[in-house]
Structure 1
């Protein structure tokens, strides 16, 4: 704890986030941040790094990512090729070790923020495969026989879109923080960054329809901030007015709904709702 760096609450966009970050640092545990896509989890980690005044290392997880890649990878093929060519570098196996993001964070000269982004994209065993390394802050390199230990314990931020359940053993070792979907006022500030000067009446009408859409029961995929921004971009490109956005009686789907709804089940849901509404009139 001697080199711990804590987050000043006044520098953070939300007091509860500062509490979560400082709790994770105090407990020396990773901070697991969950929330819907588009709620700013990745950007939040960058803000944490900026607020703490620390560099950030980002490990973007994919469906094919293995936990071992975060530690290191041994390029046996290149070594074999070099041995066949008689290269002198072949005698030092370290020339064929590619350091992963955890290794880079562990050997850094000062504390860093390590972001493991979208951990739920990987195989279900991926989180468990990192338990020991994140607990002990060390790992063994079998090819060279050395043990890599963290010089300074990094602030580990792990994000998840909640697409799949994470193992209980992994969850027990994390401090949890959930980012709620932004309210209307927060979304207005986000929109203003991307579309400054958007007419208030147009934005109000668009947000009303957006939240109505999100609030529908039975949606398979609720539209996120990213879909809202795409929709507004199309609305501006079509030069639509607030009146143009208003739906005719009996219509449930908004204009240009393909930017908001991304599967046929959700479109069919609103078509059924519109049909039922017309029958009841």
Structure 2
């Protein structure tokens, strides 16, 4: 069971090695990197490559660890007892399975994605330590213990918005997805836009990396954003010459795909103003 990328996902050697190491060690793979570098998509592509089902648990700021195991709906049980419903005599009718329970109960190996774990409360990772380590948990309402029939491949993503506890990190295999260099980015673009003209691609990526390296930029554009930008360039049938910026406006063509806040737009406008004054 080896992952080496797919036809639609370019994985470098380091990333493939990290995925396969986590599978061999049977430890969760913790993937960090800039937003838009393909962390969430990695789990889906691992599932596709290994021909496995995937269970996705997308974390929000209000998500609690218990929700990944199960939830007991006491309110519904109380209502049913008042209505004389026969279901009330079996408490299992009011236990709602969480994503971890689904993964543990699967009869075949699955990929379990825990997406953006850093969005939740700081105690969230610690609350899952034992369950992810032992691959089991206890249901207090019914007295049963849920054990993983087949250990899932667990992939956890983080945008580095907050530090994760050391005890949690010790139980994971870690990989940081570095931002692709120009050559890797060309391979990624070729997957999404096969046959794109070399001159247009070179001109667009040159401008894209110049923008990313600009001092003072609040949010650097990501891989997903350059793909959106290229899609627009192709839709508008622009040429490399159309991408050239003049002194009147330092903003790139269709800049809304790359620049996502007013501070960065104003930065380019100030550069254009200074260039005109210097001229």
Q: TM-score, normalised by structure 1?
A: 0.88
Q: Which residue in 2 is equivalent to 1:3?
A: none
Q: Which residue in 2 is equivalent to 1:184?
A: 182
Distance (Å, rounded) in 1 between the aligned partners of 2:5 and 2:73: 46
Q: Which residue in 2 is equivalent to 1:119?
A: 117
Distance (Å, rounded) in 2 between the aligned partners of 1:181 and 1:247: 25
Distance (Å, rounded) in 2 between the aligned partners of 1:16 and 1:197: 27
Provide the secondary structure at the position in 2 that maps to 1:243. Answer: helix
The list of structure 1 runs, each at least 4 consecutive aligned residues, that deviate by more than 6 angstroms after superposition, is: none
Q: Which residue in 2 is equivalent to 1:60?
A: 58
1:99 Cα offset (Å): 0.6
Q: Which residue in 2 is equivalent to 1:71?
A: 69
Provide the secondary structure at the position in 2 that maps to 1:166. Answer: coil
From the superposition, tell whether residues 158 and 251 of structure 1 become closer, same or farther in structure 2 (CA, over 3 Å).
same
From the superposition, tell whether residues 51 and 196 of structure 1 become closer, same or farther in structure 2 (CA, over 3 Å).
closer
1:17-47: per-residue Cα shift (whole Å, max 9, x none)?
Answer: 3322232234332110111122111221122
Which range is displaced more, 120-129 or 203-212? 120-129
Selected match of 1:253 from 251, 254, 259: 251
Distance (Å, rounded) in 1 between the aligned partners of 2:3 and 2:206: 35
From the superposition, tell whether residues 52 and 259 of structure 1 become closer, same or farther in structure 2 (CA, over 3 Å).
closer
Distance (Å, rounded) in 1 between the aligned partners of 2:193 and 2:49: 26
From the superposition, tell whether residues 64 and 222 of structure 1 become closer, same or farther in structure 2 (CA, over 3 Å).
same
Q: CA contact under 8 A between 2:5 and 2:49: conserved in structure 1?
A: no
Distance (Å, rounded) in 2 between the aligned partners of 1:269 and 1:165: 30
Q: Which residue in 2 is equivalent to 1:157?
A: 155
Q: Which residue in 1 is equivalent to 2:132?
A: 134
Selected match of 1:34 from 26, 32, 35: 32
Taking the TM superposition and a 5 Å limit, the aligned residue runs for 1:1-281 are: 6-7=1-2, 13-249=11-247, 251-281=249-279
Distance (Å, rounded) in 1 between the aligned partners of 2:109 and 2:236: 49
From the superposition, tell whether residues 254 and 10 of structure 1 become closer, same or farther in structure 2 (CA, over 3 Å).
closer
Q: CA contact under 8 A between 2:113 and 2:154: conserved in structure 1?
A: yes
1:62 Cα offset (Å): 1.9
1:80-106: per-residue Cα shift (whole Å, max 9, x none)?
Answer: 221122111111111111111111111
From the superposition, tell whether residues 25 and 239 of structure 1 become closer, same or farther in structure 2 (CA, over 3 Å).
closer
1:8 Cα offset (Å): 5.6
Q: TM-score, normalised by structure 2?
A: 0.89
CA RMSD of aligned residues (A): 2.3
Distance (Å, rounded) in 2 between the aligned partners of 1:34 and 1:95: 39
Provide the secondary structure at the position in 1 that maps to 2:37. Answer: coil
Distance (Å, rounded) in 1 between the aligned partners of 2:240 and 2:165: 47
Which range is displaced more, 157-166 or 6-15? 6-15
From the superposition, tell whether residues 257 and 8 of structure 1 become closer, same or farther in structure 2 (CA, over 3 Å).
closer
What count of residue pairs does the alignment treat as equivalent?
276
